[in-house]
Amino acid sequence: MKIALLGYGRMGKAIEKIAQDRGHEIVSKIDKNFNEGRLNQSDVAINFSIPQAAVKNITSALESAIPVVCGTTGWLDAFEEVKQVALKNNTAFLYASNFSIGVNLFFKLNELLAKMMQNQTDYKASMEETHHVHKLDAPSGTAITLAEGIIENADLTKWSSDNAAEDELLIKSIREGEVPGTHAIEYASKIDAITIKHEAFNRQGFALGAVIAAEWIADKKGIFNMNDVLNL
């Protein structure tokens, strides 16, 4: 399979190595300072560019009828626009806030626990997410996805990153060192606390998941997410 990399930072380089190890060819690399190869020669594009470049990169590929897998967060106000471009050009688009297999299982665990806690009014939910100092958006896309899973199953109206009201879910964001990504959800009462946590040890899980998603989407048309890829 011929792959275009839209964004060639640390994630792009990790994806490149795994893709090549799995027998794929990188035919295009696009980043803010260079544009190598030919995008129109690719079978699928994987986008991990900065949020400010995401929409332009994604739509350029979709308008050439190239399926796109996107892991960039911080641009979702334009999601519907991108979705329509994919449908108009009869191609495929797959967005995930996190491509790690473990994180996607954690999403399901989070939803299950939230349903179990629906009637436990003595417990209040909160979240803490920690990432490396280079991450530009806060809260993380993964944290927002987790928050949505909680809010859909709880008596909460929205999430907040500061001074959360009684009907809001507090998300505390920490940026330190080179932490790949840690997400912890706590349900606390005056008596005890229940905590679930996912901790990434490196970026390999994210990169492998993105390549698996690209392999899956290459011959498809429509709008997808990692639940489709993993059949969850």
Which of 180, 202, 204, 218 shows the shortest CA–CA distance to 69? 218
pLDDT of residue 176: 94
Question: What is the per-residue DSSP string for 39-73?
Answer: GGG-SEEEE---HHHHHHHHHHHHTTT--EEE---
pLDDT of residue 73: 84
Is 135 noted as a catalytic residue in this protein?
yes
pLDDT of residue 98: 86
pLDDT of residue 124: 95
Return the SS3 of 84. Answer: helix
Catalytic residue among 24, 131, 183, 198: 131
pLDDT of residue 203: 82
* pLDDT mean values, one per 10 residues, the chain (232 residues): 93 94 96 86 94 92 96 90 96 93 94 95 96 88 93 92 89 94 97 97 90 95 94 85
154, 118 contact by CB (below 8 A): yes
pTM for the structure as a whole:
0.78
Catalytic residue among 24, 29, 135, 183: 135
Give the DSSP H/E element, type plus range, for residue 181.
Answer: strand 181-188
124, 188 contact by CB (below 8 A): yes
Q: Which domains, and CATH codes, for the chain?
A: 2-99+204-230 (3.40.50.720), 101-200 (3.30.360.10)
pLDDT of residue 204: 87
Is 24 noted as a catalytic residue in this protein?
no
pLDDT of residue 141: 86
Instruction: Estimate to the nearest angstrom the gap between the alpha carbon of 112 and the chain centroid.
Output: 20
Gap between the Cα atoms of 139 and 57, Å rounded: 23
pLDDT of residue 70: 96
